[in-house]
Structure 1
């Protein structure tokens, strides 16, 4: 055991876990005031449930010895984390439990990301059922495909890892996976009442920017921590993450300025997330200059992609598809273009003389995860909708999901006004407050 590596991974695990409350703030600020608590509770609920499932059988499915041709780990091998507690149980230079804890935070946020696609209209109980089933049938197996390497935790790992695909910190397993699932759920639940006709702007931009800042901060644990050691690979991943994210913010803001005539705070926050998503799979394979290029393209590409829902007619409320699916696909494919053998991954991409071989591996790995996640999620969501019901009633959606589902409100308007009156300058119907921001992840068609 290396104490420095162990300390770094435990700190990184804590940073990644902090990202889920950060996501709750980010998503919570982007919905309308009458939905903020429900939106945040979907992240916190996922954290609670997936943490338990990970301990019981999730880690074993993801990292247990393969029992299905690279598709599935043995769920009984480490059930309840049996056999991993002893001081002699090491994964690399780490105590096994440090690795277990680090990977648990990835599983949690992968599920929480999906919730943004169905904001304002999902029953909380149905969401919790979905979260548990989706993690079991989709995330845990896909994590095995991508993250389980032969001889690291188990003797035989997953098929994508064995094929030589590079996904350093989760472009396929987390972002493409969650993005495809978000699209499927958005189709199952249908559009929000008034989608495309009524403004549905973020109700609290300071919350959005605070959440984005926490996500950016935690993402250094997400990417650099995936080295699972305090070493040069972690340092390269850290710097590449910084370069790509900064460039993506500039790319998104520039796109807004050209398209809409002004750059927005929500655009800056969204650009940061887009850059973080894109560099996640690639941060060990690129140099800082090409990381900057990947981030810049991600900012422009995702800023344009968030408008697709209006053209194609699906209601992805907070742009899980436009940011996570599109950004994840771009970052995964960019490895095949810009990877350099000088980086820790040690692979040359197409533009560095390596030919198209790595690009092809990246492509079919990304498509496989996207199709699998979309199809299985569509089935899970449809079954829940047909049985217990996934979407809330229309009148409850109009009244506000916070009051109907949680019997709470994000803002105590009565206290602010001292009774039944309203604050000067506040909207006549506070729960329907609209912010004047445009050019964001709720950009007009």
Structure 2
């Protein structure tokens, strides 16, 4: 049996990471950056452990959500593309990703203040310095290792979201390379700029992103759009979803896991977490109902698929604002986001490029709407447009354009790089047979 060199190289890379982790030098803990065990709040630890588990569940949920929508020949491959992120991104996060996202800032000086663009890649490599003590500036009531693992689950699901756009035509080994590049060069700097205490977008522009509308959904949405343009249309883009019950199951798992995604982002068992919990489910309920009623107004029948897509759009839209808005406002978030995403989903120009599972229309547009609405409604003095924060709103709009450009063109470049190393698209014959058989020799 002849084994392709690319698989040998992949195995060697995994072996290298495994050995490097054993020999990586450990620096003495810089206690000035950390609190003590007395600072740990056990209730917060319990909630963040639960939240981390809930967010992890979202990735298998996404695999069912996507897997049920594709044709029968591509169910397993589509589900695996989501599921494999649990392995690839988790190891990458421990080795270097967490350092790039939350290490000491490497950035620029503006008006005498230093703002981070990306983290020091060596500071937390292989979770060095990531201990059971709480970090003084990041999650000061829970062990730092728990904070790192909670953030890891966000990093895991982000590239998994992208897969729905180019389902049924991407080469698996190429996809593995792309998600590594995307995590390192798109996700981690964006995460640092928004969520690190010294991040450029969070500190200078004042971007409010409670749980990942910008970091996760906008980045995935624009990366999905770039991927569709690079890979091109499927040879046969007409198919009937294979398993709607899978979609319903996946939606339920996503909705359930999203409580950890949003309410867990309070990083404590407190009132903010409770409010985020409430706004999350209400926005989703509002969007689900709006979607199916809006479909009926356009002559389309009420469908389980539509209800599921609407629910997810509501979850996406409320994510950046979950802890910043009221419950009545969350109803409005779900309502508006569902209408705009629905219109985009059926927009002929977007349909023409063949975004297989409408990732940009749902996650990209949902993330954009969430960012705009957050800049309008977020509570607090000078926190948003409605509270006198004209500058905050303006900065959000500038940041929106910057994030869109960075994630779209950055991802476009990474697809080109990936394609130059290993072709992204499967052969026409493999696409005709289906990726389950041609890529994995398995059948649904």
TM-score by length of 2: 0.87
Out of 395, 415, 432, the residue aligned to residue 398 of structure 1 is 432
Aligned pair partner of 1:10 in 39, 49, 54 = 49
Change beyond 3 A, Cα 1:216–1:347: farther
Q: Deviations over 1:167-208 (max 9, x none)?
A: 00001100000000000011000001133xxx3221110000
Match of 1:185 among 221, 227, 241: 227
In the aligned structure 1, how far is the partner of 2:251 from the partner of 2:135? Answer: 37
* Secondary structure of 2:225 counterpart: helix
Q: 1:55 to 1:254 in 2, by over 3 A?
A: same
Query: Deviation at 1:348?
Result: 4.3
Q: The residue matched to 1:173 in structure 2 has which SS?
A: helix
> What is the CA deviation profile of residues 78-99 of structure 1, one whole-angstrom value per residue up to 9, with x for unaligned ones?
1111112244656410100110
Indicate conservation of the 8 Å contact 1:339/1:347, yes or no: no
Would you say 1:368 and 2:402 are equivalent positions? yes
- Partner Cα separation in structure 1 for residue 318 and residue 134 of structure 2: 35
Task: Tell me the distance in 1 between the aligned counterparts of 2:284 and 2:157.
Answer: 19
1:349: which partner in 2? 384
Equivalent residue runs for 1:128-277 within 5 Å: 128-149=176-197, 157-163=198-204, 164-195=206-237, 199-277=238-316
Equivalenced residue count is 395
State the partner residue of 1:29: 68
> Alignment partner for residue 442 of structure 2, among 393, 408, 420?
408
Which of these residues, 114, 123, 126, is aligned with residue 174 of structure 2? 126
The root-mean-square deviation of aligned C-alpha atoms, in Å, is: 1.4
Paired residues of 1:19 and 1:219 also in contact (CA < 8 A)? yes
Q: Is the 8 A contact 2:345 2:351 kept in 1?
A: no
The gaps in structure 1 that reach 5 residues or longer are: 150-156, 411-445
1:82 maps to: 128
Match of 1:415 in 2: none
Measured in 2, the distance between the counterparts of 1:182 and 1:347 equals 34
Shift of 1:234: 0.3
Whether the 8 Å CA contact 2:280–2:319 is kept in 1: the answer is: yes
User: Matches of 1:261 and 1:44 in 2, distance apart?
Assistant: 33
The alpha-carbon deviation at position 365 of structure 1 amounts to 1.7
Aligned partners of 2:274, 2:348: CA distance in 1, in Å?
Answer: 38
**2:134 and 2:142 in contact (8 A); partners too:** no
Is the Cα contact below 8 Å between 2:345 and 2:358 reproduced in 1?
yes
Partners of 1:47 and 1:112 within 8 A in 2: no
3-state SS of 1:207 partner: helix
Equivalent position to 1:296, from 328, 332, 335:
335
The 1:137–1:165 alpha-carbon spacing in structure 2 relative to 1, beyond 3 Å, is same
Structure 1 residue matching 2:330: 3-state secondary structure: helix
Q: Structure 1 CA distance, aligned partners of 2:201 and 2:249?
A: 35
| DSSP-derived class of the 1:30 partner | coil
CA contact (8 A) 1:147 1:161 kept: yes
Q: Tell me what 1:427 maps to.
A: none
Moved more, 1-10 or 85-94: 85-94
SS in 1 for 2:426: coil
TM normalised by structure 1 equals 0.86
What does residue 81 of structure 2 align with?
A: 42
- Deviation at 1:21? 0.2
SS at the partner of 1:31?
A: coil
Deviations 1:114-173 (A, max 9, x none): 101100000000000001111011101110011111xxxxxxx21011021100000110
- CA distance in 2 between partners of 1:398 and 1:123 (Å): 13
CA offsets per residue over residues 361-388 of structure 1, 9 Å max, x none? 2212222111111111111111222331
Deviation at residue 307 of structure 1 after TM alignment: 1.8
Task: Check conservation: 2:194, 2:200, Cα contact below 8 A.
Answer: yes
Q: Which moved more, 1:361-370 or 1:66-75?
A: 361-370
Does residue 108 of the first structure (1) align with residue 179 of the second (2)? no
- Counterparts of 1:260 and 1:303, CA distance in 2: 13
Equivalent pair of 2:132/2:145 in contact (CA under 8 Å): no
Listed as ranges, the gaps of 5+ residues in structure 2 are 1-39, 109-115
| 1:278 and 2:317 correspond | yes
